Amino acid sequence: MDFLKSFCNPYIKIPNREYIRTHSKTLLPLTAPWRNNTGVFIQDRELVIQLTVKRIIEMLHQQNIVVPTKLEYREKTGHDGARNMAMYKSVNTPMESANIFSKMCVPLSLTDSSSGEVLWKNESPNSSHWCRPLALIAEKESAELLYLVNKVFEPAEKYLQKNGMEFEYNSIKYELNIAIESSMKDLKVRTLETGLGGAGCLLCATKSHEWKDSNKINKIDYFAISRTAEKTMKLYSRMLNGDDEIVRKKNDYDNRQGLTSKPLSISDQHYIIITHQYINGTQWFLKIIYHLRAHILSWSERGETVKNRVKKAREIVVNEIQASTDLSLDQCDSSGNSGTSTTGGQGRKFFSYELRNSIIKAVPKAQQNNFKRLI
């Protein structure tokens, strides 16, 4: 910096290094090393929110907007891991692991608590550009890591939501209510965090055979969202044998409600990420179309013959949809991982009114009307 300053026009004043450093410290929260030095994380959860809200207030003041002193701030948070990152495997990388795990938050809105007026709103809340890291850790996503990450952040998040916070900015005192949605987690993370082992439903305590029972499906409340993190935690503590192990008995599903291991989170698991809703929704409808085209009127795909018939139908359907809509769905994933190439963006188009009629044409004529009702 000092070197660069020596070239500057003498009329351009750049503050000295120490001043800039001190000022930048007021804008950024402090980071601390994660265990075994595998990453960094922000210890002071409250400070992150405070700095964010101050920046929003500053921006509102610049637009001559009067900011009331009682405010409500909303954000969402979550975490995910990525394995086998090719860029970390290159020869000269300082990374010792090709895994990365991050806990993030995204500011959503700032509202006047008394009038409900929205002062600032995030216009693209699902853009990755808004993701602010709270922890970046070069470790594999595991039950242990999820447990530790939640242990570091969740108590503070719960406390802030319950008690809010007060802070001063430009000698004015502000009172802040805080709402944090724990919505940015995929199904794999949620399944691990609930301790349900993937067999049970994350939202209620019904059993899988009930999900196909049309009498129960027709009852309005039968599948109500009734499973909460609090109930799961209580259930877990009732089932322990003293060594942190769940005691299993024969035919005790009703008591266990599907719980197989320690729950790792104190927040409810009631969301599915929008992107995943689009991807999985698209895959679900595609599977129905493949099966209808192959005249296989069951959901399972057991045996070579059945699998081959579905595979042939899939090729035909995928090509037809590509020809009529330009969507290249359900190809093999180019990263070489198992899974699908279908993206959230493609899913949005799949369910758009513009393309739906073209997609319905891939269904055999006799079933087109029923399919139309379903989609």
Alpha-carbon distance of 165 to 181, in angstroms, equals: 17
Q: Which helix (H) or strand (E) holds 101?
A: strand 100-112
Least Å distance between CB 227 and Zn ion? 7
Q: Which stretch binds Zn ion (CB under 5 A): 164-172, 194-202, 243-251, 340-348?
A: 194-202
Alpha-carbon distance of 175 to 157, in angstroms, equals: 17
Least Å distance between CB 284 and Zn ion? 16
- Rank residues 47 and 204 by Cβ distance to Zn ion and give the closer one: 204
Q: What distance, in Å, lies between the first and last C-alpha atoms of the chain?
A: 60
Q: Residue for token digits 């701030």?
A: 73
What are 125's two structure tokens? 């809340």
Least Å distance between CB 266 and Zn ion? 20
DSSP of 50-71, one letter per residue? Answer: HHHHHHHHHHHHHTTPPPPSEE
Answer yes or no whether residue 146 interacts with Zn ion by CB under 5 A: no
Binders in 313-372 for Zn ion, by CB under 5 A? none
How many chain residues touch Zn ion (CB under 5 A)?
3
- Rank residues 138 and 202 by Cβ distance to Zn ion and give the closer one: 202
Adjacent-strand bridge partners of 33: 40
Alpha carbon 281 to its chain's center = 16
Least Å distance between CB 202 and Zn ion? 7
Answer yes or no whether residue 204 interacts with Zn ion by CB under 5 A: yes
Alpha-carbon distance of 124 to 146, in angstroms, equals: 27
- Rank residues 204 and 296 by Cβ distance to Zn ion and give the closer one: 204
- Rank residues 103 and 256 by Cβ distance to Zn ion and give the closer one: 256
Answer yes or no whether residue 205 interacts with Zn ion by CB under 5 A: no
- Rank residues 221 and 243 by Cβ distance to Zn ion and give the closer one: 221
Q: Which member of 201, 294, 321, 359 binds Zn ion (CB under 5 A)? A: 201
Least Å distance between CB 280 and Zn ion? 16
Question: CA angle at residue 265 from 210 to 244, to 5 degrees?
Answer: 90
Alpha-carbon distance of 256 to 263, in angstroms, equals: 13
Residue showing the smallest CB distance to Zn ion in the complex: 201
How many Cα atoms are found within 13 Å in the side-chain-facing hemisphere of 21? Answer: 4
Binders in 33-52 for Zn ion, by CB under 5 A? none
Q: Which stretch binds Zn ion (CB under 5 A): 76-84, 202-210, 310-318, 334-342?
A: 202-210
236: left (phi over 0), alpha (psi -120 to 50) or beta: alpha
What are 310's two structure tokens? 């579905």
Positive or negative, the CA dihedral 183, 125, 349, 369 is: positive
Least Å distance between CB 219 and Zn ion? 13
How would you classify the pairing of strands 172-184 and 70-82? parallel
- Rank residues 194 and 342 by Cβ distance to Zn ion and give the closer one: 194
Least Å distance between CB 201 and Zn ion? 3
Q: Residue for token digits 């039950």?
A: 143
DSSP of 150-199, one letter per residue? Answer: HHHHHHHHHHHHHH-EEEEETTEEEEEEEEEEEEE--HHHHHHHHT-TTT
Q: Which stretch binds Zn ion (CB under 5 A): 41-49, 171-179, 197-205, 229-237?
A: 197-205
- Rank residues 71 and 201 by Cβ distance to Zn ion and give the closer one: 201
- Rank residues 156 and 204 by Cβ distance to Zn ion and give the closer one: 204
How would you classify the pairing of strands 39-42 and 100-112? unpaired
DSSP letter, residue 68: P
Q: Which member of 51, 203, 306, 375 binds Zn ion (CB under 5 A)? A: 203
- Rank residues 165 and 204 by Cβ distance to Zn ion and give the closer one: 204
Least Å distance between CB 252 and Zn ion? 20
Least Å distance between CB 249 and Zn ion? 24
Residue ranges that bind Zn ion, judged by CB under 5 A? 201, 203-204
